[in-house]
């Protein structure tokens, strides 16, 4: 095996390691970022709906907004149960955070900072593609 083959093997392993660890870590973090977005959407909806509709529309709209508010509250509880064990942060979350950071350092050492940015971008693009394809599959079924 020559140096190029060895470097290629290391690169593939580091990309796989980054991708799988990032996906595991994101299972924790994405729910918290979703909460931020959901809360913003709720505020915008409340502003938009305030007094803008007919009396017969008000009650059903309030119910839908309250359902969304309850959904957000339940999601927040689930987030906290996922990330925290009692009053302490789940050790798996801490481990994944440190592991991801260490993998990024290994990528920089082996492949360079520019390649780390390319790997991050490629993983991001793959996730977006999965989301879009998943939505299209649901529409076809």
* 31-52 pLDDT per residue, tens: 889 999 999 999 999 888 877 6
Average pLDDT for the chain? 89
Containing structural domain, residue 102: 3-140
Question: Sorting pLDDT into bands at 50, 70 and 90, what band is 89?
Answer: confident
pLDDT reading at 70 higher than 70: yes
- Tell whether the model's pLDDT for residue 13 goes beyond 90: yes
Within 10 Å of residue 9's Cβ, how many Cβ atoms?
11
On the question of pLDDT at 129 being above 80, the answer is yes
Q: What is the pLDDT of residue 136?
A: 64
User: Backbone phi, then psi, for 54, in 5-degree steps?
Assistant: -70, 155
pLDDT of residue 128: 93
Q: What percent of the chain has pLDDT over 90?
A: 57
Could you tell me the pLDDT band of residue 138, with boundaries at 50, 70 and 90? low
Residue 68: predicted pLDDT = 96
pLDDT score, position 139: 60
Provide the token pair at 128.
């977006």
* Number of domains comprising the chain: 1
CA angle 36, 90, 97 (to 5 degrees): 70
Whole-angstrom distance, CA of residue 26 vs CA of residue 24? 5
Give mean pLDDT, residues 10-38.
93
Under 8 Å between Cβ of 89 and 4: no
Could you give the CA distance from residue 139 to residue 42 in angstroms, rounded to a whole number?
A: 26
Average pLDDT over residues 89-104: 94
């Amino acid at each position: 095996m020559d140096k190029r083959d060895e470097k290629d093997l290391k690169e593939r392993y580091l990309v796989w390691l980054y991708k799988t660890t990032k996906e595991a870590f994101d299972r924790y973090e994405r729910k918290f970022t979703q909460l931020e977005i959901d809360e913003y959407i709720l505020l915008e909806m409340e502003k938009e709906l305030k007094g803008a509709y007919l009396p017969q529309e008000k009650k059903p709209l309030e119910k839908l907004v309250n359902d969304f508010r309850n959904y957000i509250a339940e999601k927040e509880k689930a987030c906290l149960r996922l990330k925290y064990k009692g009053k302490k942060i789940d050790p798996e979350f801490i481990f994944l955070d440190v592991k991801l950071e260490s993998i990024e350092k290994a990528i920089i050492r082996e492949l360079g900072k520019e390649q780390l940015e390319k790997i991050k971008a490629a993983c991001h693009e793959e996730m977006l593609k999965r989301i879009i394809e998943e939505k299209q599959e649901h529409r076809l079924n």
